[in-house]
Each structure stands twice: as C-alpha cells, then as structure tokens.
Structure 1
C-alpha cells in the first residue's frame, strides 16, 4: 500500500463489493459518519444502515448502501464486513418503498411481540428507511 492511498475492502455475505486503493472512505458509523484516510489510527466501529462513500482525490467515485455491520481500520487499511450491501446505483426506489411498507406492516401486525422480536422488526424498518433514502438520493 502506498502511503498516500488507503486499502479498502467491503465484504458482504453475497459478494465482495470493493477491494481497491482509495484516497478516502466515509462510513456510516453507529455514532455518526466518519472518514478514513491513509495512515488512520486503528479502531473498530459498528456501522448503522447507510451509505459508504468511496473517494479518489476529492471526487466521490462510488456510493454503496450497507445495511449495517462492522468496520476495522488497521495498519493495512479499512475492512468493512457488511450485513448486506449493494451499489446505490442498483437500488430501486419503488422496491425500497414497498420493503419499508412491508416492514411497517409486520410491526403493526405483531401481536404482543417479545422484546427481541420488536427489536428485530424495528431494525428491519430502519434498514428499509435507510435503503429508501439512499435510493431516492441516487
């Protein structure tokens, strides 16, 4: 890895979405968005549903939706393990709208869900909302 670039890898269960040298990535951390530049201090972070921005120079080159996961920044670069991920330009706004409606209906239809079931249903709504926002912003 050159000192002026960052090795970035994004792995989701279904495929490897990125494995490249970049100038910066901006990730949707659980506590807020954060940028990673070459030679960043090592750390781990949970990711919330949102969009990863991949930069070359000062230009946003690609945007990838991630449903959540983990990011590790270390001496070799930045590795993201995403729960699910897809390029923003492949998102379909109408499908995202329908997924949000379905998730909201699932929660409304749940009769006295357990705490863990309620958390799962609410998380599905948050993921669907973030996917719709990403699709509409594309």
Structure 2
C-alpha cells in the first residue's frame, strides 16, 4: 500500500517521524483523514486525538491540544502546541485542566476581548477532549 511521511513535532521534541498509510487529524473543521497524494493545504487543529493507521489498523494514538498541520502529497507535518501519547494521559491531570479552563472562562467579562474569550474557550474544549481521551485510554 502507498505511504507518505508523517512528522509530529511539539515544542519539546519530535514525537513521530515515519512513513504511514493514513492519519486522521482533529482539524478545526472536523476530523480529517489524510492519504498519500492529498492536495496541499494547511489546516488548524483543535484539541483531539491523532490516529495513525498502518496495515489497515490504528497503530498509534496521540493527543494534541491544538496546532497546525501542513499537508502535501508526500508528507504531513503536524506542529502541535502540546502532544502526548493517549496511553500516557492522566485522568487526574485532565480533570485539573478542565477545572482550570472552566475557571478561566467563568472569569471572562463583557470587557474581555473576543479573541481572548475564543482562546479560553478553545483551551476549555481541548481540556474536555483530553478528559474524554484519558477516560478511554
């Protein structure tokens, strides 16, 4: 089966770099499956799970808090704000992050800039997705 190169990079390190058959990414517009030969594009990512498929099966699941993906016909480069293998997610850490994000959102006021309120909401939604992923792990 045809493959393409997948690289997943977070600020801390290169998490993944190898040929894969398919990757499913949590694009801001919804989940997006990427196959070899995909049309070039750059997409924003929301908090969610990246699923890597090889030999017709999911071989890796990584949680990202957001970021961007650059897609070309032969390569996908994911630049994640933060990335963690799903198996390493902690329910307690996820619950704490949800509480912190909910508190930050509750503290917003009418004077809070719309862009700031949107960023806080994105963190809250990503934290909730992290909690769901940690529960499923």
TM over 0.5: yes
Residues 113 and 13 of structure 1: is their aligned pair in 2 closer, same or farther, counting only changes over 3 Å? farther
SS at match of 2:37: coil
Q: What is the aligned partner in structure 2 of residue 51 from structure 1?
A: 49
Match of residue 135 from structure 1: 134
Indicate how the Cα distance of structure 1 residues 113 and 133 shifts in structure 2: closer, same or farther if over 3 A, else same. Answer: farther
Report the CA distance between 1:123 and its aligned residue.
2.1
Residue 121 of structure 1 corresponds to: 120
User: Can you list the C-alpha shifts for 1:1-60, whole angstroms capped at 9, x where unaligned?
Assistant: xx8111000111111111011111001111111111112222221111100000111110
Bigger Cα displacement from structure 2, 103-112 vs 84-93: 103-112
Instruction: Check whether the contact 2:10–2:80 (CA below 8 A) recurs between aligned residues.
Output: yes
1:22 aligns with 2:3: no
Please give the TM-score of this superposition, normalised by the length of structure 2: 0.90
- Residue deviations 1:45-81, cap 9 Å, x none? 1111100000111110010001111111113311111
- Residue ranges of structure 2 left out of the alignment (5+ in a row): none
State the aligned residue count: 136
Could you tell me the TM-score, scaled by structure 1's length?
Answer: 0.90
Provide structure 1 residue ranges, at least 5 long, that are not aligned to the other structure.
none
RMSD: 1.6
Counterpart contact for 2:2–2:21, Cα < 8 Å:
yes
Correspondence for 1:13 among 11, 14, 23:
11
Tell whether 2:78 aligns with 1:86. no
